[in-house]
Structure formats: C-alpha cells, structure tokens
Amino acid sequence: MNLNKLILKYLLLCEIQNNLDQKTLKAYRTDLEQFRKFMIDKNDFNSKENISEYICELKFKNYAIKTIKRKIASLKAFFSYLNNEDIIEYNPFQKIKIKIKEPFILPKIIPIRELSILFKYIYQEIQLCDNVSYRYKELIRDKALLELLIGTGMRISEACKLKKENIVYSRNVIKINGKGAKERIIPICYPSLIDSLRLYSETFSEELIKSDYFFINKRKNRLSSQSVRNMIKKYCLLTNIDLHITPHMFRHTFATMLLDQDVDTRHIQVLLGHSNIITTQIYTHVTSNKKDEIMKYKNPLSKININKG
C-alpha cells in the first residue's frame, strides 16, 4: 500500500465529503505528512510497534501537549477511515494505549479595570473624531464588535463569520453558527449592545449592501480574526494597558463574570455553545474570590445562634 496516495485520497474525502474547513485540513495534512516521513524506512506503517514508536517520538520532541494530542487524533481519524474502507484489516489503535496528561491551565480573563480603560478610550475617540472620516466608522465598528464579544461570549471566529441576516432586531437575538455547524440563538437584550450594533449597521449601510457578512474591513471584505487581534493590540498600546489581551479572553471573561454572579453553569454552557458541561466547568476554578465571599457572608454558621460564652 502506498501511504502517500492513501493520505491524499483521505484528505480529498475530508475536503469534499466531510466539508472540513481549510484550517482543519491544513492541520491534518501537516500531521499525516509528518507520520508518512517517519514511516519511510519502516516496512509496515500499520503495525502497532511502528505507530507506538512514532507516538514516543512525538512525546520526546518539544511539542506542546495539545499539539501531540492533535497529531494523534489526526492519525486516529486516518486509521479509522482505512479500517472502515477495508483498506486495512484491523485498526492498530484499538490495541494501543495512549496516556498523555494535559496540564491544567486556568483560562485568562481581562480585569474590569482594563476593560473599562479600553472602552472608555474608544467612546472618547468617537466623540472627538470627525463623523465623516473612516476612522470614525472604524471606531464604531470596533466598539460594536468588542461589546458583542464581551456581551455574548461569542468565539472570535463566530463573530467574524456572522452573517447580516443572523442578527434579528425584531426579536433581539443573534443566530450563531458554532463549531461543528451547531446553531445556537443568543438573546441580545442589553440596550447599549443593541444600540451599538444598530449604529454600526447604519454607519456601514452602503458597504454592507455588497457583503453577506456583518463585520467588514475597509476593502468591504469579511473582517478576519487576525485583524481583530491586531486591533485589540493597537488599543492596548494606545491606552498603555500592560496586558496581552486576545479575542478569546473576552469569552473567558464573559463566562467567569456570569459565574461570579451565580449564573448556573448549565446556562453558561448553552450560551457558550459547549457540547460538554465539563468544558464549561473549567471556569469554576477561577472564581476563588466568589468562593471566599460565599463562605464569609453566606455560610450556614451565620444563620446559627452559637453561644460563644
């Protein structure tokens, strides 16, 4: 069996039949090509011993744990395909035990102080800016986008791919196409967020006529995730915020602040679009201040008349 041809055939299937996005396909291609090169001098790419040796090499290389897990997942998917298509008689991964413990990393959030500084700067610049300039329009867009991120917990990819028709002002909801083509509906009941989205729509009304997407750049193309990262970095420099803020930190901050206000984890799970509650529960580890407050002011002992004499 020619491993290179099998990989190319599999990637073509992933692109056409499974409709995977280009980012995922690129990762698959990179991971499987690395495996192919490792197997050049091996007699059998399908043997348990050779695959185990490859996994051991991944562990010894200076890869992040998440990268190793992704590479193994890519390989598992490939061998599952080979087995399902009867190209190989059995799937060797059924007999390979893999234990990779991923270190627990708390999600990073944006402190309220930094958020306030960021938005205050944008609000002030809007007031000072000439409302016929493109800079004014850019500020209006950035304000709407950042408020949407912190006000809904949307992923940056979801915000950038947001379609115009997915914002339903008559019902004050946003339809989000999340991971795995899963759709969820998020209420946008907060008045200032609704006003920001409407103002952006009005300000970019002419440009949006020729675009399917809601957030666009100067060339009337869909705003990219990298553009948003650069935009946040720019505002942090302008406001002297000494913190590396990423778009995903807005999502972490949204979830953590809801949890701090006693919102049930299951509701946060629905709002974030997590398929598994375990993914959402990571935020329970970053609310130590809330736990201290609960144990100090809401402790059952406070309700009991204990005789201290």
Percent of the chain with pLDDT over 70: 90
Helices 247-260 & 225-238 angle (0-180, nearest 10): 80
What is the arithmetic mean of pLDDT over 112-135?
A: 94
Per-residue pLDDT at 293 exceeds 80: no
Give me the CATH topology for the region 112-292.
hpI Integrase; Chain A (1.10.443)
What is the arithmetic mean of pLDDT over 195-221?
A: 94
* Predicted confidence (pLDDT) per residue in 65-90, tens digit: 889 999 999 999 999 999 999 999 88
The residue extents of the domains of the chain are 3-95, 112-292
Per-residue pLDDT at 298 exceeds 90: no
pLDDT of residue 99: 77
Residue 63 to residue 68: CA distance in whole angstroms: 6
Q: Is 172 left (phi over 0), alpha (psi -120 to 50) or beta?
A: left
Residue 89 to residue 46: CA distance in whole angstroms: 10
pLDDT of residue 205: 93
Per-residue pLDDT at 178 exceeds 80: no
Confidence band for 309, pLDDT divided at 50, 70 and 90 = very low
Continuous H helices in 39-162: 48-60, 65-84, 112-128, 134-152, 156-160
Residue 173 to residue 162: CA distance in whole angstroms: 13
* Predicted confidence (pLDDT) per residue in 22-61, tens digit: 888 899 999 999 999 999 988 889 888 999 999 988 888 8
Q: Which of 227, 217, 292, 291 is closest to 259 using CA atoms?
A: 291
- Show which residues are catalytic: 155, 179, 248, 251, 274, 283
Per-residue pLDDT at 189 exceeds 50: yes
Confidence band for 263, pLDDT divided at 50, 70 and 90 = confident
Per-residue pLDDT at 254 exceeds 70: yes
First to last CA, the chain: 85
Per-residue pLDDT at 260 exceeds 60: yes
pLDDT of residue 236: 96
How many residues does the structure list for the chain?
Answer: 309
Tokens of 307: 């005789």
Residue 38 to residue 120: CA distance in whole angstroms: 54
5-9, 119-123, 273-277, range with the lowest pLDDT:
273-277
Superfamily (CATH H level) for 3-95? Tyrosine recombinase, N-terminal domain (1.10.150.130)
Residue 102 to residue 282: CA distance in whole angstroms: 14
